[in-house]
Every structure is written in structure tokens, then in C-alpha cells.
Homo-oligomer: A and B are copies of this chain.
Amino acid sequence: MTGNLIAIDWGTTNRRVYLLDAAGQVCRTERNGMGLLAVPAGGFAEEVAAIRARFGDWPVILAGMVGSARGWINVPYLDCPAGIADLGAALHWLDDGRTAIVPGLADPAGDVMRGEEVQVLGAVAGGLVPDTALLCQPGTHCKWARVADGRLTTFATAMTGEVFALLKAHSLLADFLGGDVTDDAAFREGVRDGLSGRLTTLLFRVRAAALLGRRPIEQSAAYASGLLIGHDVGGEDLADGQVVHLLADPQLGALYASAIRLAGGTPIIIDSHAAFVAGVTHIWKASQP
């Protein structure tokens, strides 16, 4: 197997390993649940050694929460605006000189990211999005990032996925949120309400609507998800067809694309894995003398 670089997207619950060749093409990948929470304290070096044993003895570049206080080493955030060259110059090198962690970014308005910056800047560097663009990365903590002239200038995070999970697992609404979430009429009604309404009031009405027989209980989850995604999307001014580049898996991508259209925007779904690979490849190159 040929190789050149091992790139690891290491989050809190999942880990994805990519073996890249000299041209930045993916030779092999591995995805599993070996996120931070599954790694014992002090166990990161051993994990990386085991990955090298499986994938080949190549340089390793890591991104994501692995660079946080809960991860291997707490790498300081880099301030926005930041581009590929800034991340390449600010890599945190481990003592072996061939293992590096990409720093996360801080927005001056008071926000942070770790890992998403590689996808965002990789999407630009890889030619997947223009060098001035609005990008959205849905998920537990949904990121909205703006790039200008190829640099990430500002971003904001919404706790959209986490709040939905909290409501589903622990709230008074828990018994009402067991249904499927798809881009259907109930979801779109939720998006429309969530774009401009008061979130905590609209959420209470999910239960009231079921109690009053106004909405079948099996549609409550789709409506509630629409509320949260609508509240999230409503934070950006998307009227007049503003293009939003979505870095998302197909299911969440479809939901956000629908909500962005309802808000007047134009969604374009981008391959987030390709963006990550382009990002680490360009950051790595930028770090080399």
C-alpha cells in the first residue's frame, strides 16, 4: 500500500482515519467509535502508534477535539481571520517531530471551533466552494462560517443538535419525540414557525398540540426538529437567494437544504469528507519548509 500522510479527524465520540498518497488521494479509511471518550487518560500516543502499525509509518496530522482540554493536548485557539497558511504555521508538533495537531479557531465575538476549520478552509482550497462564501456544518453544534478571500473570517455555533437530543432524552417532550424526522409537511411547518418565533414557547406547544389532538404524535419529532433548525437558519439573512454551502451527511443535509430554501436561500451540498481531505493536505503542505 502506498502512502504519504495519515490524517485523523478525532472527535468526542467518533474517529476517522485517512491514509493519503502524495497527490492527496485517499488510499484507505477507517471509521469507528474511538472518540475522545473511548480513549483512556494518557492513551493517545499509544492509539496513534497502533494506527501507524496498521496504516504504515507515515507522518500524522490530527484535527478536532483531540486538541482540546479533554483530548491529547490543549492546543491554544488561533484567532479569526485565519487561512490555510496560518493553520500550517501554527500546527502543534508533538515531540517526535512527525505528529502534529491542527489548532482550533476562536471568533472575536466569542465562539470556538475545533476540526470544522479544516473542512471549511479545505472546501475553499480544494475548489469545492468559491473563496468568498457562507458555509454551514449541521450537527450537534451547527457551525455557520464565512470565508472571504480564502480566509475564515467569522463564525457562529448553534447548539441545535444537542438541544434536540436533550429534549428527546430528558424533557417533558421526551414521550412525544419518538417519531421519524424527514423533510415532510410537519418538518416544514416547524421550520416556518422556528424562523421567526420564540423557541422555548414553540417547543412547549409541541406537547400541547399532541394533547389537544392538533398534530398526530408521530409528527411531533419532525415538527420539533423543524423548529430548532428553523431557529438556527433564521439567525442568518438568507433572503434574495443567498447561497449556503452545506457540509453535511445526506440526511441532515436534506433537512437543512429544505430549511434554507424556506428562508429564501440557495443550498448547495458539498462533500465534507473531500473538504476535510483537501484541508489536511493543504495545511500539511503549508507546514513544510
Contact = CB atoms under 8 A, between A and B. Distances in A.
A172 B231 CA distance: 20
A200 B112 contact: no
A204 B159 contact: yes
Contacts of A77: 212
A167 B169 CA distance: 12
A135 to B, nearest CB: 16
Given A171-B166, A208-B157, A200 B110 contact: no
A168 to B, nearest CB: 11
A198 B157 CA distance: 10
A169 B167 CA distance: 12
Contacts of A106: 208, 212
A16 interface: no
Contacts of A141: 172, 204
Nearest to A74: B211
A228 interface: yes
Contact of A166 (B110, B167, B208, B211): B167
Interface of A: 77, 106, 109-112, 141, 156-160, 162-163, 166-167, 169-172, 198-201, 203-205, 207-209, 211-212, 214, 228, 231-232, 234-235
29 contacts: A106-B212, A110-B205, A110-B208, A110-B209, A110-B214, A111-B204, A111-B205, A112-B207, A112-B208, A156-B201, A157-B204, A157-B205, A157-B208, A158-B201, A158-B204, A159-B172, A159-B200, A159-B201, A160-B200, A162-B172, A163-B163, A163-B200, A166-B166, A166-B167, A166-B170, A166-B171, A198-B235, A199-B199, A199-B200
Given A159-B171, A162-B172, A163-B163, 20 more contacts: A106-B212, A109-B205, A110-B205, A111-B204, A111-B208, A141-B172, A157-B201, A157-B204, A157-B205, A158-B200, A158-B204, A159-B204, A160-B200, A166-B170, A166-B171, A170-B170, A198-B232, A199-B199, A200-B228, A200-B232
Across the A-B interface, give the 8 residue pairs with the lowest CB-CB distance, nearest first.
A198-B235, A158-B200, A157-B204, A112-B208, A159-B200, A158-B201, A166-B166, A110-B205
